[in-house]
Structure 1
Amino acid sequence: MQTNLSDRARQLPRAEEAERILRSCVHCGFCNATCPTYQLLGDELDGPRGRIYLIKQVLEGQPATAATQLHLDRCLSCRNCETTCPSGVDYHNLLDIGRAAMESAVPRPLGQRLLRSGLRALLPNPTLFKSLSRLGQALRPLLPERVHDELPVLIMAAKPRPAPRHARRVLLLEGCVQAALSPNTNAATARVLDRLGISVTPVREAGCCGALDYHLNAQQAGLDRARRTIDAWWPLIESSAVEAIIQTASGCGAFIKDYGHLLGGDPAYAAKAARISDLSKDLVEVLRDEPLEDLTARGELRLAVHCPCTLQHAQKLGGAVEQVLTRLGFNLTEVPDSHLCCGSAGTYSITQPQLSRQLRDNKMNALESGRPEVIATANIGCQTHLGGAGRTPVRHWIELVEEAL
């Protein structure tokens, strides 16, 4: 695509990257065929090709408008279009650049600013988030339907973790909302890894990975959280005390694997960030290479597997969880349109509730078409969002594995 950035746009920190990505797009439109928002709305500007044109126009000097911002806000960042694109357009990075340009050019209404600031203050704070969630659950009957439908369901407390005892050691991102919403996920991970001769070294200081801030267009705040996470892990990385950094939330994993790129221009952190990204693995990447047959699991449940967008499109691990669960004896149902987003997309279910709910209902219909007993997923946001429908139970797949041992 022919591109001519304005003089102002050329001063942006990622101007060359934006121009390179824009030039790689041949505007073929294949991306629209798999874009969830284009399928729902049928508007060219609510598909990847249209959004690329909007970003191009702004970077070439045309006025940024609230309408342009809305079309970019409606994007789920699911990256399905990247999987489909025959030209390999790096859409998500272009979207980040475009959103940052819009954020500085178009002031948001007060209500939006308060909502986004509140989410950024609340969600990365596990203690505060858990306390307010419990209060919301207690007041649920008194709240409007739209509000109580969005309240997260707090899940049972974590079971004990085994003490580190093996020579093989890994780090485990403790995360932020997952610690409150599904605390047993990481505990189950530690117990399964212990059975495989791998111990988890706890580093409680590594909290939110920064993805939440970054994708709410507070990009510098997100990168600052990334730096703090790197600092928390670095002594163990530098001493080669661990062989991998494991994430049980695929959304966090996708962002951490991008640390090397996002902090590549920071002289103090570029090398460290690249090393962290190299060591970062989704949990399924570790388990699939281990002798699972030694676990003697009895996976008798009939499962539908929901593969989060951050696992299949961002990390290119589509089908990996299904393979592990099949090896362990679980009975998996067919899921039509498994490539489509469930509508969770971080805070999208809160900032774009109507679209998010439509996508959730469509996804639940697909997941339930094979009449599963349980739906298994690999990301806490998707787990909470799908579970909020109040239909088939939704669990993290590692908990189901641990219960089958």
Structure 2
Amino acid sequence: MQTNFTAEQLADPGVARANEILRSCVHCGFCTATCPSYQVLGDELDSPRGRIYLIKDMLEAGRPADAKTVKHIDRCLSCLACMSTCPSGVHYMHLIDHARAHVEKTYKRPLFDRLLRWTLAKIVPYPGRFRLAMLGAKIAKPFARLLPDARLRAMISMAPKEIPPVSRNDDPQTFPAMGERRYRVALQIGCAQRALNTDINDATIRLLRRLGCDVVIPKNLGCCGALTHHMGREGESHDQAARNIRAYLGEGELDAIVINTSGCGTTVKDYGHMFRNDPMAVEAAKVSGLTCDISEFLQRIGLPEGAPKDLRVAYHAACSLQHGQQVKTAPKDLLKRVGFTVVEPADSHLCCGSAGTYNLLQPEISAELKRRKIATLEAKVPQVIAAGNIGCMIQIGSGTGVPVVHTVELLDWATGGPKPRALADLP
């Protein structure tokens, strides 16, 4: 794609990177075949190719974002299926992230939109605040249909039936390896995940310890910055990321930084890019280089075979894992290795509609994607659905009677850990 940025514009590192990405696009349109929002809406401007044109025009003109451009950028899930499909290697993630930051700086949203986004940014990344918000939503749930805005109704409807008690395993500490120590790893404990499902970190810690890992929960560890980053709030996301970089490196030598919520993993692996022009560039790149998904790490160090389980597991591939991190086979291979029968739904490359806060900010599109995803999963007649991201688990679990658990919970169970609570009713 031909671009026409001035030398002055290209002096901005963000614009320079956008220019590189734009020039790598050849207009082929392969991305439209795998874009979930285009599949639902059928509008070229709601495809990666269409958004690329809008972003190019906005950035080249050096103008503030307008309502039309913002509408179509907001409808992007950042599922990154287009990056898996693109034959030209267009790094759409960096482009859409830069566009969102430009929108945040130059576009004045309607007051209610601003308040809604501010509220999400100030609540979801903080487990204590998020717990209180979920309690309020749980109380308000019977009255959700009376609310005038679909986004508010979506927020209330997502309140879980049960809010788990705080897990002290998430406090800063080191869990020693069982037996001989082979590795020393840090665990990213998440933020929303700590409030929604404490079993995931508990299972991860148990499994890693049995495999000879000292598991470190670093001091001063907080949100990775993914949520605010994808809302274009660069200042907040970089502050959160910088705090985590210092927290990780303050723990001394680590063999890996293990992450069990793939939305966080995609962002932490990108810290090197986010801080490329920052005094913390070297430290950020080191953290990114150490980071791996729990499934990647288990495959690397070797997982013993488990006691065979007569259980049919439908594996849902989280977009942030299969597209954002290009981790496609490790979770399935591990589940098979420990004895589960693994099936995959049709169109497994398509998003479930969760996508961070997307199901709260774009509830209609999200609901249609959820309906399609659940239909393809249930068509496989599974006894359980496994996923590697808490957002997907909540999204899918809210629309199906099939138990939904994290992949690591099944791996922990099959290799000596307790049966996941979500599977208590299964034989």
* Alpha-carbon shift at residue 69 of structure 1 (Å): 0.5
Task: Report percent identity of matched pairs.
Answer: 45
Match of residue 234 from structure 1: 249
Q: Aligned residue pairs: how many?
A: 400
Residue of structure 2 in register with 1:345 after alignment: 355
Name which of 371, 378, 383 aligns with 1:373. 383
* Mapping of residues 78-89 of structure 1, within 5 Å: 78-89=79-90
2:410 aligns with one of 375, 400, 404? 400
Unaligned residue ranges in structure 1 (runs of 5+): none
The reply on whether 1:109 has 2:119 as its aligned counterpart is: no
Q: Which residue of 2 aligns with 1:273?
A: 284
Aligned residue for 2:149?
none
The one-letter code of the counterpart of 2:315 is V
CA distance in 2, matches of 1:5, 1:99: 19
Q: CA deviation at 1:163?
A: 3.6
Residue 6 of structure 1: CA displacement? 5.1
Say whether residues 1:356 and 2:356 are aligned partners. Answer: no
How far has the Cα of 1:79 moved from its partner? 0.7
Q: 2:235 maps to what in 1? A: 220
After TM superposition, the structure 1 = structure 2 runs for residues 269-308 of structure 1, keeping only pairs within 5 Å, are 269-293=280-304, 296-308=306-318
Range 195-204 or range 249-258, more displaced: 195-204
Aligned counterpart, 2:31: 31
The amino acid across from 1:74 in the alignment is: R
CA pair 116-31 structure 1, distance change in 2 beyond 3 A: same
SS in 2 for 1:208: coil
Contact 1:133 1:154 in 2 (8 A): no
What is the distance in 2 between the residues matched to 1:69 and 1:6?
24
Report the aligned-residue RMSD.
1.9
Aligned partner letter, 1:149: S
Q: Is the 8 A contact 1:304 1:376 kept in 2?
A: yes
Any conservation in 1 of the 2:354–2:392 contact (CA below 8 Å)?
yes
Structure 1 segments of 4+ aligned residues over 6 angstroms from their partners: none
Alignment of structure 1 residues 6-405 onto 2, 5 Å: 9-10=9-10, 12-61=12-61, 64-144=65-145, 146-147=153-154, 148-154=156-162, 156-157=164-165, 163-165=175-177, 167=181, 168-236=183-251, 239-240=252-253, 242-267=254-279, 269-293=280-304, 296-404=306-414, 405=416
Distance 1:8 1:43 in 2: 34
Provide closer, same or farther for how the CA distance between residues 59 and 172 of structure 1 changes in structure 2, counting only shifts above 3 A: same
Give me the whole-angstrom Cα distance separating, in 1, the residues matched to 2:412 and 2:388.
14
Of 386-395 and 157-166, deviating more is: 157-166
Cα pair 2:164 2:197 within 8 Å, conserved: yes
CA offset digits 1:6-42 (Å, max 9, x no partner)? 5774453312111111111000101101100111111
CA–CA distance in structure 2, aligned partners of residues 47 and 309 of structure 1: 16
1:293 to 1:21, Cα distance in 2 relative to 1, 3 A: same
3-state secondary structure, aligned to 2:352: coil
Cα separation, partners in 2 of 1:101 and 1:158, compared to 1, 3 Å: closer
C-alpha deviations, 1:333-371, integer Å up to 9, x for none?
Answer: 231100001111100001100001110110011111111
CA distance in 2, matches of 1:134, 1:400: 29
1:150 CA displacement = 2.5
Conserved 8 A contact 2:335-2:410: no
Q: Does the 8 Å contact 2:123/2:130 carry over to 1?
A: yes
Distance in 2, matches of 1:153 and 1:316, equals 33
Range 100-109 or range 274-283, more displaced: 100-109
Note if contact 1:154-1:182 (Cα within 8 Å) is conserved in structure 2. Answer: no
What is the alpha-carbon distance in structure 2 between the residues aligned to residue 194 and residue 159 of structure 1? 17
Deviation readout 1:27-68 (Å, 9 max, x if unpaired): 010110110011111111000000000011111217531011
* DSSP-derived class of the 1:370 partner: coil
2:184 aligned counterpart, secondary structure = strand
| Distance in 2 between residues matched to 1:366 and 1:157, nearest whole Å | 33
Question: Matched residues in 1 for 2:163 and 2:403: separation?
Answer: 12
8 A contact 1:6–1:61 mirrored in 2: no
CA contact (8 A) 2:397 2:404 kept: yes
1:175·1:209 contact (CA, 8 Å) conserved in 2? Answer: yes
Once the two structures are superposed, what CA deviation does each residue of 1:211-253 show, in whole Å capped at 9, x if it has no partner? Answer: 11111110121011000001111122xx32x210000000000
C-alpha displacement of 1:158: 7.5
Q: TM-score, normalised by structure 1?
A: 0.94
